[in-house]
Amino acid sequence: MTNDLVLTSLRARPILDSRGFPTVEVAATTDDGALLRAASPAGASTGAHEAVELRDGGPAFSGKGVEGAVRSVESPLAELLVGPVWSELEDADAAMAELDSTRGYANLGANAVVAVSMVLARGFAHAAGSELWEWFAARTGSTPLLPVPHFNVLNGGAHAANDLDLQEFMIAPVGARDEAEAVAMGAEAHHALGALVRERYGTAGLGDEGGFAPALSEPREALDLLMEAIGRAGLVPGREEMAIAVDPAANGFHRGGGIYRVAGRDLDREELVDVYRQLLRDYPIRSLEDGFAEDDLEGWRVQSRELGGRVQLVGDDLYVTDPVRIRDGSARGLSDAVLIKPNQIGTVSQTLAAIRTAREASMACMISHRSGETWDDFIADLAVGTGVDQIKAGAPARGERVAKYNRLAGIALAHPELPYGLS
């Protein structure tokens, strides 16, 4: 890339995320007068191997303050980045990594570093006179594509107060004609589900990602509700139409030693795979994420042997968007897909490297939000520009979730030539 970036200022402040906890927002100005912003998301069901957020501790906000991370941006990172001519995002990201000197950005805080890296990417796109997604496409040599949204409409696990052990039940309009229709299908099914949940369970509470969180405990109850809601919305449940995706987030119910507690029963690996096998038989599930815990490689091997090829097996906490872990998982045959979250690994350059690594290993990718989100729609552009054909950003409701879907629909409206759907 030939378009250089010069920052004239880099500031940060704490803002509230969608759960009401502080997160880091950064603002940068460029030498030609542009003002660019970015904000860091935050997970709840975080993987043990993720990059490290800097949190203040102490009584305020249950220890989740980000004053330290804000200081990281205002002082060492601003001193590093403001002034010099940057010609590559990789160089700026590498300079931040060197300054931090730990593997997971424990000194500066990954919540500071990722927001800065995101604003730098916006700066480079601005310098190139491109939309962010166009810059990603040029930067990575990818064919841009409008991804299939995976709407998380029923919440459990660490994201909800109910007894549902499995964390996310998503609907994916793979059969939509275009992105606008996909978003509309998701929204209609979500409304139908809301009505159903209110009828059957009284008031419908919400989980962290905007999905409903009725008092369910059995995975089948959740899937039956989804099937009925899809039908009520006048849509056809099916792997080629309105498909279902599940993120059990199995770290959350792994009791250790390969024993998993689901709906009050302790299951060994074979029994858990059997539960999944029966769900795949009875429901149009196209994707299963973190079916086993991050460090239970034996569980992943059993799952891959028994279910591989019948459903997309996605590694999230297993890989934490780390190219090294992705390569290792691919060599061991643990899964055929990777969840991509920039704040798990810390910088945008490393995120692009993770996507490249997955592709080299013929693994699919799904771009993902976090359960704690902000106004920032960065991941929509990331998905379109890198040509990753799947994205999950929560329910088609709540401002921080629809920010991403509305950005996708906006890109689609302005660029009707971009294809929609699974590649």
**Could you list the residues that contact ligand 2PG (CB under 6 A)?**
43-46, 168, 209, 247, 249, 316, 368, 370-371
DSSP 158: G
Of residues 125 and 408, the one with the C-beta less far from ligand 2PG:
408
Sheet order of strands, 22-30 included: 35-39, 22-30, 5-16, 85-86
All residues at 6 or more sequence positions from 391 whose CB lies less than 8 Å from its CB, including other chains: 147, 148, 149, 150, 366, 367, 368, 379, 380, 383, 404, 408
Considering the candidates 131, 209, 289, 400, report the single residue annotated as catalytic: 209
Tokens (6 digits) for 238? 């099916």
- Shortest spacing between CB 169 and ligand 2PG, in angstroms: 12
Residue 294 as a binder of Mg ion (CB under 5 A): the answer is no
Contact 368, 379 (CB under 8 A): yes
Residues 244-283, mask of contacts with Mg ion (x by CB under 5 A): ---x-x----------------------------------
- Shortest spacing between CB 249 and Mg ion, in angstroms: 5
Of residues 216 and 393, the one with the C-beta less far from ligand 2PG:
393
Contact 250, 292 (CB under 8 A): yes
Of residues 122 and 370, the one with the C-beta less far from Mg ion:
370
Among the candidate windows 106-114, 294-302, 311-319, 410-418, which touches Mg ion by CB under 5 A?
311-319
Tokens (6 digits) for 310? 């019948």
- Shortest spacing between CB 41 and Mg ion, in angstroms: 13
Q: Which does 23 bind (CB under 5 to 8 A by kind): Mg ion, ligand 2PG, none?
A: none
CA dist 108 and 257 (Å) reads: 35
Of residues 269 and 369, the one with the C-beta less far from Mg ion:
369
Residues 316-345 that bind Mg ion (CB under 5 A): 316
Q: Which does 370 bind (CB under 5 to 8 A by kind): ligand 2PG, Mg ion, none?
A: ligand 2PG
Among the candidate windows 109-117, 123-131, 154-162, 289-297, which touches Mg ion by CB under 5 A?
289-297
CA dist 294 and 327 (Å) reads: 15
CA dist 149 and 389 (Å) reads: 9
CA dist 345 and 354 (Å) reads: 9
The identity of residue 150, as a single letter, is H
The yes-or-no answer on residue 228 being catalytic is no
The identity of residue 297, as a single letter, is L
Q: Which residue's CB comes closest to ligand 2PG? A: 43
- Shortest spacing between CB 91 and ligand 2PG, in angstroms: 29
The yes-or-no answer on residue 209 being catalytic is yes
CA dist 400 and 210 (Å) reads: 9
Considering the candidates 341, 373, 392, 400, report the single residue annotated as catalytic: 341
Q: Which residue's CB comes closest to Mg ion? A: 316
Nearest Cα neighbor of 122 from 412, 322, 385 is 385
Of residues 226 and 250, the one with the C-beta less far from Mg ion:
250
CA dihedral sign of residues 36, 42, 47, 49? positive
Of residues 25 and 208, the one with the C-beta less far from ligand 2PG:
208
- Active-site positions read 209, 341
